[in-house]
Amino acid sequence: MRRFLPPLLLALVFGAIAVRMLLEPSRGEAREQISGLVQAGVFDEATQRLERYLARYDEDEDAWFATWVWFRSAQPERAIEQIWGHPSLPGKPDTARRFARTALYAIGWEDEARNDPTVLEPFCLLALAEGDDAWAAERLRRHARELDLMESTRYFFPAYRRATHRPMDLIVAEFRKRGDERFDTAAALGALQGKEDAAAAKDGARLLEVLADDRWRRTFRDVWCVAGLTLGRRGSSENLAALELAAAALDGSVNELDQQDRQLVLVGLLAAGRFDVHDEIAPAVYGDDGVMIVTVWYLEALIHRYLSGDARSEVWLRRMWEGPGSKYRGLRDRVARAFLLQDARPDEAAMEAWVGRMLTDLERPDAPPMEHVLARSFAQRAGLPDARERLLALLRDLAARFHPGDGAAAELSEPFVECLRALYLYS
């Protein structure tokens, strides 16, 4: 009897395994069940089932499915490791772009129908639209068609500061169709970023009306001051005359806001190359009581002059970088984005003159996360050695600290998305 026991035990073991296999859902059924749990927000159960799923299935598409689940369940570290620790996927040419797209969709919306946006949706949507994602481009158009002006600013102003023009072009095209004075003005501001087209003359005339209308200055001050900057960038004699008239109207006022607004008009003249007004602006930028709104748009004027080939701007850009830029978060980010990630890459002369130093400053150990991201995004774009590995190392570091919904998310969310943007656009 004893000699029959081992075969009997083996039969029981194999029978138990067979029964369990029959009870386990198929690959398709398992995916459906896990996806349903993710959609319902039951993440603990979803990830437990995912672990069992991965023990049975290990094709490439299984890794991609798991990556989506990890991102949706707020475990970005595991999502990164799922792809970049995989034995074969990192070497495939489309992996970086597909990974970034998967991540941007997973963290930008709460649901797969993408009707329930997260706070990261504007950044994710703009990154996807920059990379010619058809769905994202249409969603951005729809937002520009349907949202009110206040809601639209969540997309308009990030697009205004993007390094490439595509998202803004999409927004402008839809704003023009709305037949609303405010949207017409916003469209003019977005369209006149250094471009010449058939609508430029009409846009310029619209902004001249805004600059001359005190109602805009008092009610929509940001729009009014950007109108002045934009007119200065265009630099026509008519624009310069309008800016000088607006400055004269505010000259001598003792009202603090009027004084700031006069400096903002002078910023428009500076953007046109009128460095004779610089001394009147400088105290609001470099003084002990710097005025942030003047500083921000003064920086835009300097960037425009430099990119237009005006060598006089370089000394002041350096001073901005080393002075206010080292104290106020966001100023160096803006300079770095304009020089490193614009439509046209910086030329060799700029790299040798000071962009190389800029990269070193951005990578200093105590720099904010966004500065590190922008430096490594440029390296990825330029195809420098080990660029992707360094960008992924930074993404892993951010992922270890970035969990949507917690207190640190606000500070880390934009750098995290910016890393994904670099992988999406420059891979």
The answer to whether the CB of 80 falls within 8 A of the CB of 72 is no
Mean predicted confidence (pLDDT) in 241-253: 95
Q: Do the Cβ atoms of 139 and 117 come closer than 8 Å?
A: no
* pLDDT higher than threshold 80 for residue 197: no
| pLDDT higher than threshold 70 for residue 13 | no
Domain boundaries of the chain, sorted by first residue = 1-92, 310-427
Per-residue pLDDT, averaged over 401-411, amounts to 64
Between CA 24 and CA 45 the distance in angstroms is 15
Whether 8 shows a pLDDT value over 70: the answer reads: no
Share of the chain above pLDDT 70, in %: 90
The torsion defined by the Cα of 53, 59, 65 and 69, in degrees rounded to 10, comes to 50
For the ranges 106-110, 127-131, 160-164, the lowest mean pLDDT is seen at 160-164
Q: Structure tokens of 99?
A: 């990974």
Indicate the pTM of the whole model: 0.86
Number of other residues whose CB lies within 10 A of the CB of residue 393: 12
Of 379, 395, 422, the C-alpha closest to 123 is 422
The per-residue pLDDT for 193 is 74
* DSSP sequence for 24-54: SPPHHHHHHHHHHHHHTT-HHHHHHHHHHHH
Pull the structure tokens for residue 307: 């990119």
Which pLDDT does position 172 carry in this prediction?
A: 94
Residue 338 pLDDT: 85
Confidence tier at 19 by pLDDT (50, 70, 90): very low
The closest alpha carbon to 145, from 115, 180, 174, belongs to 174
Give strand pairing partners of 181: none
d(C-alpha 227, C-alpha 185), whole Å: 9
225 by DSSP, 3-state: which? helix
- The CATH architecture one would assign to domain 1-92 is Alpha Horseshoe (1.25)
Q: Which residues of 352-366 are buried (b: 16+ CB within 10 A; e: fewer)?
A: eebbeebbebbeeee
Residue 266 CA to residue 246 CA, distance in Å, equals 9
CA torsion 301→292→314→419, rounded to 10°? -90
Distance between CA atoms of residues 185 and 306, nearest Å = 26
> Binning pLDDT at 50, 70 and 90, where does residue 9 land?
low
- Tokens representing 231? 């007119």
First to last CA, the chain: 68
What DSSP character marks residue 346?
P
Q: Provide mean pLDDT across the span 27-53.
A: 93
- Listed residue (178, 140, 142) closest to 156, CA to CA: 140
Residue 274 has pLDDT above 90, yes or no: yes
The pLDDT confidence band at residue 403, using thresholds 50, 70 and 90, is: low
Block residue for tokens 């995916």:
31
| 89/250 Cα distance (integer angstroms) | 62
Look at residue 198 and give its three-state secondary structure. Answer: coil
What are the residue ranges of helices labelled H in 109-133? 121-130
> What is the spatial distance between Cα 127 and Cα 336, in angstroms, rounded to a whole number?
17
For residue 425, which of 108, 121, 129 has the smallest C-alpha distance? 129
Q: What is the pLDDT of residues 323-373, one digit of tens each?
A: 999 888 889 999 898 888 877 776 777 777 777 888 899 999 999 999 999
The encoded tokens of residue 317 equal 């850009």
Contact between 106 and 71 (Cβ < 8 Å): yes
Number of Cβ within 10 Å of residue 318's Cβ equals 15
For 346-400, where are the E strands, in sequence order? Answer: none
Residues 57 and 10: their CA atoms lie apart, in Å, by: 25
CA distances from 224 to 74, 133, 182, 270, 319 (A): 41, 33, 11, 16, 27
Q: What is the mean pLDDT of the chain?
A: 89
Express as a percent the part of the chain with pLDDT over 90: 69
Location of structure tokens 């035990």: 9
Over residues 73-102, the mean pLDDT reads 96
- Helix (H), strand (E) at residue 139: helix 134-146
